[in-house]
Amino acid sequence: MTMTLISAADLAERLDSPDVRVFDVRHDLTNHAAGRQAYEAGHIPGARYLDHETELAAPRTGTNGRHPLPSREAFGALMAAHGVTPRTLVVAYDASGGMYAAHLWWMLRWLGHGQVAVLDGGWQAWVAAGLPTTAEPAPAPAWLETTAEPGAALAGTVDAQAVLDNIARPSFTVIDARAANRYRGEVEPMDPVAGHIPGALNRPNGENLQADGRFKPAGQLREEFASLLDGRDPAAIVHQCGSGITACHNLLSMEIAGLSGSRLYPGSWSEWCSDPSRPVAKGA
């Protein structure tokens, strides 16, 4: 069974296990120092910080998006350096409704690692439960693998060419996780061009959450996504956003809902709009 979410109470019970690795991926796209500063001020005991700009992204070329995927080998080596082995339960958390944690969840599934979950409610849920926090850095791993061979990927991707070809000869449907006004092209705070990929549907990732920041129940998510898919097979869905991060929130939500098999366009809008020859749509 694919893992998706873990509660603060359940994580607290497992926190001392040597087979658990907790990663703090708090981040702010407009202030890249904010996540590490928050971690240094206080975090879940034993949690290790990972930076979405410098560790969970490959070098940017100007045409490969704002958060290009690293190679599976490089990402596997990063996980190994933190003591992650095939038997490790990895738990990711943030303070942004799970958007960054969901990205790490997806990346580990892409690596072939199935034992990974997102802390439901994130940092806020942990603090609200009165669970312990610390400003002490995590100790060195109890064991360390110097290499990590990626396993069979549990999550798939498509590239920009596949998305372009799909416009003329549709074989999948794109779902855009950005806010509705960005999707419609009314505003664009992050990238130089406003609009969306022609034919894409819109499901803002914030719609996956309840008012308390936890994910909606599986049945509710299934009903909402089923309405959006309108009979489409989940395996014929490709998710995108601005740079491949918040799209993973929709991927996780569909997994929670039991709608497995969707893929990610990692370059997303920031890669798509870097080439002026690619078509752009606006409006609903």
Transcribe 180-233 into DSSP letters. Answer: HHHHTTS--SSSSS-SB-TT-EE--GGGGB-TTSSBPPHHHHHHHHHHHHTT--
Cα–Cα separations (whole angstroms), residue 262 to 93, 111, 232, 238: 22, 16, 11, 6
**What CA–CA distance (Å, rounded) separates 236 from 230?**
12
Burial class (CB in 10 A: 0-12, 13-18, 19+), 275: exposed
Residue with tokens 């609200």: 128
Phi then psi for 256, rounded to 5 degrees?
-55, -40
The torsion angle over the Cα atoms of residues 118, 103, 74 and 158, rounded to 10 degrees, is 130
- Is residue 241 part of the annotated active site? The answer reads yes
**What CA–CA distance (Å, rounded) separates 142 from 212?**
36
One of 241, 247, 251, 252 is an active-site residue; which one?
Answer: 241
Phi then psi for 14, rounded to 5 degrees?
-100, 0
Residues tagged active-site: 241
